[in-house]
Structure 1
Amino acid sequence: MNPLVLPKAPASRLPAKTRTVLAVIVLLGLTLAFYYGLWLPGLVLIKRDAYGLWLPLKQHMTERLTAGELPQWFPYEALGRPFIGTAATGIFHPFTVLYFLLPAPDAYRASTLLSCLLAAVGAFTLGRTLNFSRAGAVVAGAAFALSGYVVSFTEHLIYLYSICVLPLFCAALEKALVGIRAWTVAPALVWATVLLHGDGQTGYYFGFIALIWTAARAPGVQREACLRLLLVVSLAALLASVQLAPAAVVFLSSDRMQPELFQGEALYWSTHPLRLLTVLAAPVGENANPVEVGRIFFGTPQRGSTGGMLADSLYLGVPMVGLALLGGWHRRDLRVLALLGGFALLLALGQFGGLYAVFYNVVPLWSAFRYPEKWMGVVSFAAAILAGAGIDALRAGKGSPTPWLAMAILCAGIWLGLRTEAASAWTAIHFGASESLAGEMTGSAALAFLYSAGASLGVWMVILGARNGRLREAVLFSALVAILTLDLWRANFSAYRTGPVEAATFIPPLAQAIAAREGGLTPGRFRLIPIRESKHMVRKSLQRLLGQEAESVVRRQALDVEHN
């Protein structure tokens, strides 16, 4: 078979810097278009922790700082607890400035949007640092910013920010290893912001990532590389010490220091092997109860109202994964990304893989952290960057269209199989699911595989057109970016949810009446409102507007114990 030869586009007369700026503008435009719910006025993030946990905490932080006080104590949970010592409050992170400029819901959205933009720009920067073309770097940035894991964690800003700055951290570390020693400040600054934001777990994982990256990418004498890495670690710890010190005091007195008691919690959200299929075909079971889906299909036991999946979506898609495999095969110098991705995938399996349990019992401090599925963020990062390398491999005339056609046929075959009543019946019997749930799972999975077949077929047609000389390089790039972006948009868009800002600012009448009668809370005063747990009726119009999050909004406004 003849190698892929692309008709070259006429050389651009624009300066190189101008072309780079235009590429970044295109990338930012794609990201802003996808995350329009984070910048349009009158909206608020209403998904899980973004709505029920972080808004009240950030509001308390803002009130205390505005009053000229350092919020050392949070009096509204049980009989109170340390605030600064709870690292997740992130008081010392630069994003705190936004809460002085904007209302808390808008500041939280702005922080989330900035994190997603950092993901896109950081992946672009890393791509260019690794000698990607501008086209490859744009694909890497778009693929990462729109990946299922990143989109899902818009509900949890701490973990979102940490994974979003990982490409920037690796780019800075690459510079620190090959440039002058002064470059060690750059990765240390990025690393410190992760710790200042309160994510000690991912900050801890950054150390392993830095060690692997240094071992694989450092040129010359290893002693010099180790010295530079030590400088990065020391400077990051020093810069973040204002948060690490009080957090350590609280941490040492927590149950996380007792691995035998904490292990069940630590391994709770492990990525079930069956769920890895949703990396290639999604969404699956979108209209079903996520707690029920997690319990029956993905091995997540239900704990009260807790369950389901940590990340609503892990979707990367056939186009991204295929390009990543192509990039990893033809850019052997990027084996560190393949190594990181494979290592992270094994750890993400948690209780289903075995490696995480070994680390839990052997590696110091590993037992203090929870939820192995967080490693899927590193998998998404590695796949996105390698996908950018895959674009460059195609532009260089490498890669065959045949695997894409084969994948399209395979996905179409799975679609046909899952559409049958036999598939639904087998699912109900094998997993012990109700007929309606089994039908929802097989039906949605069938549709997801049909879309994956269409995306694979689209890539095949584009590459085949380029091989036959019918598509120029610019058209090839534009078509592949369109397929990749639309595929990720289709599958992942519902993983972040916004609603009217009134959902967060509305004050229930009962709360208004109590405040009018008793006044505000002051130190030494406590208010206990015993309200019986009960089922709440959610109007269909509200369900259509807010989706699965409608019940959280209703329960909060009803002064439900769990949500207040």
Structure 2
Amino acid sequence: MPIRGLKRDLAAIAVLAALALLFFWPVTMGGRTMLPVDSVYAWEPWRSTAGAEGVGVAHNSLVLDLYLQNYAWKSFIVDCLRAGELPLWNPYILSGVPFLAGGQHSAMYPLSTVFYVLPLEAAYGWFAALHVFLAGAFTYILARTLRVSRAGSLIAGAAFSFGGFMVIRNVFPMIVAAAVWLPLILAVVEVTVRRAEEGAPSPMGAIPLLAVGAAALGMVLLAGHPEMYYYVALTTAAYSLWRLAGLWRRRRSWRRSALVAAGLLGMGVVGLGLGAAQWVPLLDLVRHNFREGSASFAEVLGWAYPPRRAISLLIPDFFGNPAHHSYLDLFTWQRVDVSVNALGDRIDTIYWGIKNYVEGAAYVGILPLLLAAVAVLRRQGRRWGFFALLAALSLAFVFGSRLYWLVFRLPGLNQVHSPFRWVYLYTLSVAMLAGMGADA
């Protein structure tokens, strides 16, 4: 790539970095914290002291997991490290439980170093900003790899990194930590196969690329969220097969196709090795998980998005927002605090959705949706078909189609009761299609 072109790509990635920092400025440089500390006052024993301490309605009690769960995990890890111990066992839950094997604390995830060098109340903001930036940068790289223009790639990167999935789910650091690496892995697969399509003289030249892909896979595993393992693995496998089929159609060479397939398989094996410190003990732990077989296929489908939730793909706050506690009276033009609903029940938020707001966040943006539609209608861009199919299939899973049986029967996925999290792959697919549509 010419130096001038590289500088332009770096400038575009710098724009994504600036956007992430600007978006999270209050909780990075602004002296505030992402931790919903005020939410604990909705529970005893803190609720009894809320009035005396001048604490009113919590800003957003829905994100309490970040404080009661993740913050507790991170505090325990930091305390153990300061004492020179590994956090293998947590004695503070019941009579004690395995801790390090559980994974979702992301203790061995390299970028969790942020939590070990910064005060925890500050670390969460920087961790979120870093991963929103990485999501955008890696999606930009994938789009450029697929020959999307710089402007289109910037749109793709911004759509994925600032879509509802990435932004709202920062309440689950382990999910976003795993989610950001998939675009980079797909870019490695694309370049590896394309080298063979274009007649690269030696497959050895792909080794540095495959090493990058293996490292990214290792990062996904070390992030410690088993459900994300499946999403990344299934998508990587599907894209690899899609591209290998294209390689065979173009070159008609069993030897070349087999070499590329072996390289991609080797990337996966090395990635598994890099993440083995986390997934091997986790595999042993999940065998004793009470969720094994605890829900039928019909019950799991019942937890998918209801059809009416489709409107939130276009209007994200159609069902309200748990962080909103008042409404604008159009007759008096004054804000009115909510206190009771039409049934006389006490409420403190305007949210009335039938799906958890965090898990129901699927908004990508009107412009990305329009551009994605253009890409599909005009068959614009390389691999548009793959991402259109992935988006459609993901939406089918999200809304409880019986097609979900295709993945429900995979080993371990009967412990996963959240078909709605396929919105992750829907979001990435729409973002990629939006970038392609921008070039139409």
TM-score (norm 2): 0.77
Gaps of 5+ in 2: 37-62, 196-204, 249-253, 325-346
C-alpha distance in structure 1 between counterparts of 2:90 and 2:301, whole Å: 28
C-alpha distance in structure 1 between counterparts of 2:388 and 2:8, whole Å: 29
C-alpha distance in structure 1 between counterparts of 2:21 and 2:159, whole Å: 14
Q: Which residue matches 2:359?
A: 311
Gaps of 5+ in 1: 1-12, 301-307, 394-564
Q: Which residue matches 2:313?
A: 279
Q: Which residue matches 1:54?
A: 70
Q: Does 1:165 align with 2:177?
A: no
Q: Does 1:77 align with 2:93?
A: yes
- Of the three residues 379, 382, 388, the one matched with 2:429 is 382
* Residues 157-205 of structure 1, C-alpha deviations (whole Å, 9 max, x = no match): 1111222222122112222333434122222211111111101211122
Q: 1:287 to 1:159 in 2, by over 3 A?
A: closer
Measure how far apart 1:285 and its partner are.
Answer: 2.7
Greater per-residue helix proportion: 1
* Residues 347-377 of structure 1, C-alpha deviations (whole Å, 9 max, x = no match): 222xx311224532x3232212231111101
- Of the three residues 134, 137, 143, the one matched with 1:121 is 137
C-alpha distance in structure 1 between counterparts of 2:186 and 2:362, whole Å: 22
Q: Report the residue type matching 2:28 in the other structure.
A: W
Q: Report the residue type matching 2:274 in the other structure.
A: L
Measure how far apart 1:99 and its partner are.
Answer: 2.5
Q: Which residue matches 1:248?
A: 283
Q: 1:19 to 1:341 in 2, by over 3 A?
A: same
Q: 1:332 to 1:77 in 2, by over 3 A?
A: same
Q: 1:127·1:385 contact (CA, 8 Å) conserved in 2?
A: yes
Measure how far apart 1:312 and its partner are.
Answer: 5.0
Give the CA RMSD over aligned residues: 2.7
Q: 1:205 to 1:17 in 2, by over 3 A?
A: closer
Q: Does 1:363 align with 2:379?
A: no
Report the identity percentage: 25
* Residues 406-429 of structure 1, C-alpha deviations (whole Å, 9 max, x = no match): xxxxxxxxxxxxxxxxxxxxxxxx
3-state SS of paired residue (2:33): strand
Q: Does 1:344 align with 2:391?
A: no
**Which region of structure 1 is more displaced relative to structure 2, 136-145 or 364-373?**
364-373
Q: Which residue matches 1:391?
A: 438
* Residues 182-232 of structure 1, C-alpha deviations (whole Å, 9 max, x = no match): 122222211111111101211122221112101222324443343223212
Q: Which residue matches 2:233?
A: 207
TM-score (norm 1): 0.61
Measure how far apart 1:313 and its partner are.
Answer: 2.4
State the number of aligned residues: 369
Q: 1:140·1:387 contact (CA, 8 Å) conserved in 2?
A: yes
Q: 2:147·2:382 contact (CA, 8 Å) conserved in 1?
A: no
Q: Report the residue type matching 1:169 in the other structure.
A: I
Q: 1:212·1:336 contact (CA, 8 Å) conserved in 2?
A: no
Taking the TM superposition and a 5 Å limit, the aligned residue runs for 1:32-431 are 32-45=21-34, 46=36, 47-179=63-195, 180-182=205-207, 183-218=209-244, 219-220=247-248, 221=254, 222-256=257-291, 258-261=292-295, 266-267=300-301, 269-287=303-321, 298=354, 308-328=356-376, 329-331=379-381, 333-349=383-399, 352-360=400-408, 362-393=409-440
C-alpha distance in structure 2 between counterparts of 1:114 and 1:23, whole Å: 16
- Which one scores higher on RCO, CA 8 angstroms, separation ≥ 6? 1
Measure how far apart 1:325 and its partner are.
Answer: 1.5
C-alpha distance in structure 1 between counterparts of 2:350 and 2:104, whole Å: 26
Q: Report the residue type matching 2:214 in the other structure.
A: A
Taking the TM superposition and a 5 Å limit, the aligned residue runs for 1:415-454 are none
Q: 1:30 to 1:97 in 2, by over 3 A?
A: closer
- Of the three residues 26, 29, 43, the one matched with 2:18 is 29
**Which region of structure 1 is more displaced relative to structure 2, 247-256 or 284-293?**
284-293
Measure how far apart 1:80 and its partner are.
Answer: 1.4
Measure how far apart 1:386 and its partner are.
Answer: 1.1
